[in-house]
Copies of this chain bind each other. A is one copy, B any other.
Amino acid sequence: MSLNTFGHLFRVTTWGESHGPALGATVDGCPPGVPLTEADIQPWLDKRRPGQNKNTTQRQEPDQVEILSGVFEGQTTGTPIQLMIRNTDQRSKDYGDIAATFRPGHADITYHQKYGLRDYRGGGRSSARETAARVAAAGVARQALSKLAPLVEIKGYMVQMGEKTIDRSRFDWNAIDQNDFWCPDAGAVQEWEDYLQWLRKDDHNSVGAMIEVVARGVPAGLGAPIYGKLDTDIAAAMMSINAVKGVEIGEGMAAARLTGRENADEIYMGNDGQPVYSSNHAGGILGGISSGQDIVCRFAVKPTSSILSPRKSIRIDGSPTEVVTKGRHDPCVGIRAVPVGEAMMACVILDHLLLDRGQTGGIRGQIG
């Protein structure tokens, strides 16, 4: 248990603020002997990094990760891995004017109420910059997964941006990495881009998004009753990401609409002697434990509240004011939430893999 820590055995504690000298992640419990260098982690950070195209914030951060401990001669030693990212582009002047003002939709007011003070520079600890630390930690998790469960593949993508949704019939796994939106429907990309540019430049607005994250190749048997369920931990992991307001597994909220006949995933024996299912309404998890099907999770990211349109608020002294957020902000923070969702999934899967082999030794009940 801790406020800034997640995970049971693969435990990640993140630290740092948007405009402090650095931020990072302390990763404890990683298996030993996992090949790991900064070059293994950096690509994931680059994927999340702002300022890469016109659809994300123009803030420029190299987000260069340094491994300060836990790795020796290119391998993890089983001791804590400290990952540090220096903050290099801290234009504190951008934020000075909000020192005494609570931005609507932000954590400014609740941090003030709870702690009596806050680091107001760029949102401080509540900034989405914190997610860089998660992505770095997940770089470690991915290396460990590569070794322990090489069939696991984790992929995130946007399925909705505002009113615009993908056409599932055009879903293309390979398209995801080919556009700035991590959108699996190549045909939707131009329209999304036009909309987002209009929204930002002309409408001075922002927009929400829905991200789907899939984990393929996860062995059956991960997760546990009743509070250590795999879906419980995925839900917590995704909900902990900034601006996330909802999380779904499999059918998700739409399950409320279904009947039992529609929803049941029927079971067959596959040709390889493993059970197969007629469908995947369950999202790969039954009773909190993975079934071997794809694990399917979706989460909704609210539109950022940092927009150029004025919104009413108050100052610390209680006086009314209007807030217009100039800074450099993402018109759709959901785009950059894609690699973050993948990161959380990677950490949860690895954690449950370790937890399962701790308790069961990785034995599996036979079928057939």
Given known contacts A118-B77, A126-B287, is B110 in contact with A257 (CB within 8 Å)? no
Does A259 touch B at the CB level, under 8 Å?
yes
- Number of this chain's copies in the assembly equals 4
Does A69 touch B at the CB level, under 8 Å?
yes
Does A42 touch B at the CB level, under 8 Å?
no
| Contact indicator per residue, chain A 15-26, by CB within 8 Å of chain B (1) or not (0) | 111001111101
Given known contacts A3-B228, A29-B2, is B354 in contact with A80 (CB within 8 Å)? no
Does A184 touch B at the CB level, under 8 Å?
no
Q: Which residue of B lies closest to A210 (CB)?
A: B256
Does A295 touch B at the CB level, under 8 Å?
no
Does A166 touch B at the CB level, under 8 Å?
no
Point out the residue from B30, B105, B130, B257 that lies within 8 Å of A265, measured CB to CB.
B105
| Contact indicator per residue, chain A 234-259, by CB within 8 Å of chain B (1) or not (0) | 01101110100111111111111111
B80→A13 contact, CB < 8 A: yes
Q: Which residue of B lies closest to A227 (CB)?
A: B6
A300→B107 contact, CB < 8 A: no
CB distance from A226 to the nearest CB of B (A): 5
Give the interface segment out of A51-59, A172-180, A185-193, A302-310: A302-310
CB distance from A281 to the nearest CB of B (A): 8
Q: Which residues of B contact A207 (CB under 8 A)?
A: 258-260
CA distance A224 to B161 in the complex (A): 29
B268→A314 contact, CB < 8 A: yes
Does A139 touch B at the CB level, under 8 Å?
no
Does A169 touch B at the CB level, under 8 Å?
no
CA distance A120 to B106 in the complex (A): 47
B240→A245 contact, CB < 8 A: no
The 8 A-B pairs of least Cβ separation, nearest first, read A107-B287, A318-B368, A358-B358, A206-B260, A110-B289, A246-B252, A3-B228, A15-B80
Point out the residue from B2, B8, B115, B239 that lies within 8 Å of A77, measured CB to CB.
B115
B72→A225 contact, CB < 8 A: no
Q: Which residues of B contact A15 (CB under 8 A)?
A: 26, 28, 68-70, 79-82
Which of A15, A233, A316, A318 has the largest number of chain B CB atoms within 10 A?
A: A15
Does A5 touch B at the CB level, under 8 Å?
yes
Does A264 touch B at the CB level, under 8 Å?
yes
CB distance from A352 to the nearest CB of B (A): 10
B225→A4 contact, CB < 8 A: yes
Point out the residue from B205, B227, B288 that lies within 8 Å of A107, measured CB to CB.
B288
Q: Which residues of B contact A202 (CB under 8 A)?
A: none
A300→B68 contact, CB < 8 A: no
Given A29-B359, A104-B265, output 4 extra A-B contacts at Cβ < 8 Å: A5-B227, A109-B291, A111-B287, A357-B361
Q: Which residues of B contact A88 (CB under 8 A)?
A: none
Point out the residue from B77, B84, B162, B247 that lies within 8 Å of A124, measured CB to CB.
B77
Given known contacts A229-B239, A256-B301, A360-B78, is B114 in contact with A221 (CB within 8 Å)? yes
B300→A69 contact, CB < 8 A: no
Q: Which residues of B contact A301 (CB under 8 A)?
A: 255-256
B209→A303 contact, CB < 8 A: no
Point out the residue from B73, B118, B260, B305 that lies within 8 Å of A205, measured CB to CB.
B260
B79→A4 contact, CB < 8 A: yes
| Contacts of A294-336 to chain B: CB distance below 8 A | 298, 300-307, 309, 311-314, 316-318, 320, 334
CA distance A294 to B364 in the complex (A): 33
Q: Which residues of B contact A39 (CB under 8 A)?
A: none
**Can you identify 30 A-B contacts, CB atoms within 8 angstroms?**
A5-B227, A13-B28, A14-B226, A15-B69, A15-B82, A23-B68, A31-B359, A32-B360, A72-B117, A78-B115, A78-B360, A105-B264, A106-B287, A107-B289, A109-B286, A110-B285, A111-B287, A114-B224, A116-B360, A160-B257, A203-B259, A206-B260, A227-B240, A231-B245, A235-B238, A235-B239, A245-B283, A255-B302, A256-B302, A261-B311
